[in-house]
């Protein structure tokens, strides 16, 4: 375990960002999101949740797949270069890291998504324990411990100090590179900080959310429930929940005409959008109720069906904070519990 005084973090950031790109929570125009560090950046490690999850560092909202040109019946294709440079993500929360492991199940399963994999391979991830969880958090419901470290390096902010320890080879490499800035720390400090966090977690209202009624094999039981017809009604059919969600990974593939060239890019898509399931044969989810049901069934039943019971939600609570209609997965889970 190593530590550094908080007032020396700027030195640490400057040092890391000299060698590789550094991404961390940055405030810009009244909004806090993961962004690239530079000297002028307003770093906000104190903030619990960035507006958007850091998934776009690995799965950007829009990314080019290839560009191509065609003339006189001939085509040439130029695949987009993969992320080739190493980068560091600093201050990711455990729920967001757990979400990355869920994205891995999608993008790293065969056939591997090489664009995503290249970014994963090149990233060193420093997670930061949550000193002050909020009422919208429910990570514990999914067995995630926000006091415990994860990723390549685990970190804690305790009092005036920033503590960290490496979990992987990549983490060891990062710690070695920056060792001159750190001093040895007492493991016990971190242990008592963890205990404090866990005490707080125990008091948070949504942490005890029960998922026993969900998971593998629940399609028949849940799909035709009349509850969906009630629950979806306030839904505005916007994509806020899906775009702030760290595990939502649906995408669309589209063309962008840039002069002679056609750029084929991939972009986030939302199952909440009316044209999402528009395919060659027509549309198989034509009502907002069906689309609303799809989002929650996917996270709580279909994904577990295909992934050994793992839910596609980590309880980060962004949908709880951000839904313009104050609808969210918690309300859905509780409504079904009440019914049962």
Of residues 163 through 182, those in contact with other proteins by CB under 8 A are 167-170, 173
- Please give the backbone phi and psi of residue 126, each rounded to the nearest 5 degrees, phi first: -105, 115
Which of 191, 195, 219, 339 is close enough to bind other proteins by CB under 8 A? 219
CB of 75 to other proteins, least distance (A): 4
Restricting to residues 98-157, which ones interact with other proteins according to CB under 8 A?
106-107, 111-115, 117-118, 120-121, 132-136, 151-152
Q: Does 206 bind other proteins (CB under 8 A)?
A: yes
Restricting to residues 10-49, which ones interact with other proteins according to CB under 8 A?
28-31, 33, 48
Of the candidates 268, 240, 249, 243, the one whose C-alpha atom is nearest the C-alpha of residue 325 is 240
CB of 183 to other proteins, least distance (A): 26
Nearer to other proteins by Cβ, of 22 and 320: the residue is 320
How would you class 145 by CB atoms within 10 Å of its CB: exposed for 0-12, middle for 13-18, buried for 19 or more? middle
Nearer to other proteins by Cβ, of 4 and 93: the residue is 93
Nearer to other proteins by Cβ, of 94 and 294: the residue is 294
Which of 14, 38, 61, 176 is close enough to bind other proteins by CB under 8 A? 61
- Prior bond of 111 cis (ω within 30°): yes
Q: At what angle do helices 169-177 and 9-19 cross, to 10 degrees?
A: 110
Q: Does 335 bind other proteins (CB under 8 A)?
A: no
Give dist(CA 270, CA 276) in Å, integer. 7
Nearer to other proteins by Cβ, of 4 and 37: the residue is 37
How many residues are listed for the chain in this entry?
Answer: 340
- Binding part of the chain for other proteins, among 3-11, 140-148, 156-164, 249-257 by CB under 8 A, reads 249-257
Which of 26, 327, 329, 332 is close enough to bind other proteins by CB under 8 A? 327
Nearer to other proteins by Cβ, of 45 and 173: the residue is 173
Which of 14, 179, 195, 267 is close enough to bind other proteins by CB under 8 A? 267
Nearer to other proteins by Cβ, of 90 and 265: the residue is 265
CB of 279 to other proteins, least distance (A): 6
Q: Does 223 bind other proteins (CB under 8 A)?
A: yes
Residue 311, Cβ neighbours under 10 Å: how many? Answer: 21
- Residue 128's contacts (CB-CB under 8 Å, 6 or more residues apart) are 45, 90, 91, 92, 93, 155, 156, 157
């Amino acid at each position: 375990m190593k530590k550094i005084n908080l007032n020396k973090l700027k030195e640490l950031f400057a040092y890391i960002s000299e060698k590789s790109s550094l991404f961390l929570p940055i405030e810009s125009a009244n909004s806090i999101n993961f962004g690239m560090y530079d000297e002028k950046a307003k770093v906000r490690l104190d903030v619990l949740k960035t507006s958007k999850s850091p998934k776009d560092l690995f799965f950007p909202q829009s990314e080019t797949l290839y560009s191509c040109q065609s003339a006189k019946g001939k085509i040439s294709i130029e695949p987009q270069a993969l992320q080739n440079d190493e980068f560091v993500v600093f201050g990711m929360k455990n729920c967001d890291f757990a979400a990355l492991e869920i994205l891995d199940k999608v993008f790293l399963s065969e056939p591997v998504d090489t664009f995503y994999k290249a970014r994963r391979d090149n990233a060193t991830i420093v997670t930061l324990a949550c000193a002050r969880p909020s009422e919208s958090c429910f990570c514990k419901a999914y067995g995630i411990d926000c006091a415990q470290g994860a990723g390549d390096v685990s970190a804690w902010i305790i009092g005036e100090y920033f503590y960290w320890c490496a979990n992987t080879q990549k983490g060891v490499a990062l710690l070695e590179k920056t060792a001159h800035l750190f001093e040895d720390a007492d493991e016990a400090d971190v242990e008592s900080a963890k205990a404090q966090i866990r005490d707080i977690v125990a008091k948070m209202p949504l942490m005890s959310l029960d998922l026993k009624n969900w998971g593998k094999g629940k399609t028949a039981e849940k799909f035709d429930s009349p509850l969906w017809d009630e629950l979806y009604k306030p839904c505005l059919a916007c994509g806020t929940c899906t775009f702030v969600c760290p595990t939502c990974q649906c995408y669309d593939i589209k063309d962008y005409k840039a002069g002679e060239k056609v750029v084929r890019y991939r972009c986030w898509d939302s199952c909440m959008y009316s044209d999402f399931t528009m395919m060659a044969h027509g549309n198989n989810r034509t009502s907002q109720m069906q689309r609303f049901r799809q989002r929650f069934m996917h996270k709580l039943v279909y994904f577990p069906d295909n992934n050994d019971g793992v839910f596609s939600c980590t309880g980060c609570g962004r949908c709880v904070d951000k839904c313009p209609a104050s609808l969210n997965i918690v309300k859905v889970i509780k409504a079904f519990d009440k019914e049962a």
